[in-house]
Amino acid sequence: MAGADPGELAAGERQPGAERRRSLLQRLPYGLRRRCRRYNCKQFASPQECLAAPEFLDHIRKVMLVIDAAVSHLEDLPCLEEYLCNLGKKHQAVGVKVESFSTVGESLLYMLEKCLGAAFSPDAREAWIKLYSAVVKAMQRGWEVLPEGD
């Protein structure tokens, strides 16, 4: 490929990001792979197509920002209450079901286990479950709050 534009790939060559997504997808449990075919009320032809979609990748980044905020405020999670409640309202407004948060939680735990290996002890798993549950409970309160004017 000498002399070729570095942004171009030879026929059949895969981009590193595509290869990572394929590897990730192959490691996901079947149920998560199946659910990955549908995101944001859009049906994808394959889980690979979903994992490559810019809007899905952007959502993953946003989820991780929320997780990062929760970890950063571990000693004072109540300070995130209003933010998370409003985030829950936004999710409800676009038709997200509360049950879908369990898929995100399963995915988070799965990737932590795969990335951390033996360092992901039962105690660490329990701590992550408690943290994620606190985030989800705060977001669920967004479903419970009546819209303004009601």
Instruction: Measure Cα distances from 7 to 4, 14, 22, 48, 53 in Å.
Output: 8, 12, 20, 21, 19
pLDDT tens, residue by residue, 43-61: 677 777 777 788 888 888 8
Whether the predicted pLDDT of 110 surpasses 70: yes
Model confidence at 137, in pLDDT bands (50, 70, 90)?
very high
Whether the predicted pLDDT of 84 surpasses 80: yes
Whether the predicted pLDDT of 35 surpasses 70: no
State what percent of residues in the chain have pLDDT above 90.
35
Q: Counting beta carbons within 10 angstroms of the beta carbon of residue 135, is it exposed (0 to 12), middle (13 to 18) or buried (19 or more)?
A: buried
Contacts 24+ apart (CB under 8 A), 34-43: 35/103, 40/94, 41/95
Tell me the average pLDDT of the chain: 76
pLDDT of res. 25: 52
Rounded Cα gap, residues 3 and 26, in angstroms: 34
Number of CB atoms found within 10 A of residue 32's CB: 16
pLDDT tens, residue by residue, 3-18: 433 333 344 444 455 5
pLDDT of res. 42: 60
Residue 63: which of 97, 99, 103 has the closest Cα?
A: 103
Residue 86: which of 138, 127, 130 has the closest Cα?
A: 138
Whether the predicted pLDDT of 142 surpasses 60: yes
pLDDT of res. 22: 55
Are the beta carbons of 76 and 111 closer than 8 angstroms?
no
